[in-house]
Amino acid sequence: MTLLQACEWLGSSWIGTLIRNSKWGFALIEMVHLLALALLGSTLLVSTLQSLGIIFKGTAPGALFRDLRRARIASLAAMIVSGILLFADGPLRYYGNAAFRVKLLLIGGAALTGALSHYMGYGSTQREWPVWAKAATLLSLTLWLGAGVAGRVVGVL
């Protein structure tokens, strides 16, 4: 099955049809998606600022990452599920949309660098995060910001 065929199948599936025919379905799903984005963004911002030594300077490296792990995972899971449901509303609209493809690439890069920064800084026994872990957290936050901007551009293209 090609990607185009998978998009056609998803668009004609019961879930795609249900969301498309619902008066409030898309709006409610988008609300969940945006709230999850806000939660993820805030946890990433706090974690990044801590890794850079701007806030919570007395906190051990990785401690804040551990403390915010559940919120980060829950918000990411909510974003994935709601994102798939939003995509199901009209997958052929997104299939050829360049901004959507950029958004997916940025999300992949952000998730990868976020995971790397987590594992590089999490077990650090140093007083502060290693330089490469700091760079990875900053890059991850920047990529997530780019994904959010690309997501807004999706509706324009």
> Would you list the DSSP string of 16-82?
HHHHHH-SSHHHHHHHHHHHHHHHHHHHHHHHHHHHTTSS-TTSPTTHHHHHTHHHHHHHHHHHHHH
Give the pLDDT score at 121: 58
Give the pLDDT score at 36: 96
Mean pLDDT computed over 18-41:
95
DSSP structure class, residue 62: T
Give the pLDDT score at 130: 78
Give the pLDDT score at 124: 54
Report the domain count for the chain. Answer: 1
Q: Confidence band (pLDDT; 50, 70, 90) for 101? A: very high
The C-alpha atoms of residue 148 and residue 4 are separated, in whole angstroms, by 24
- For residue 33 the two structure tokens come to 């998606």
Give residue 62's domain range.
3-154
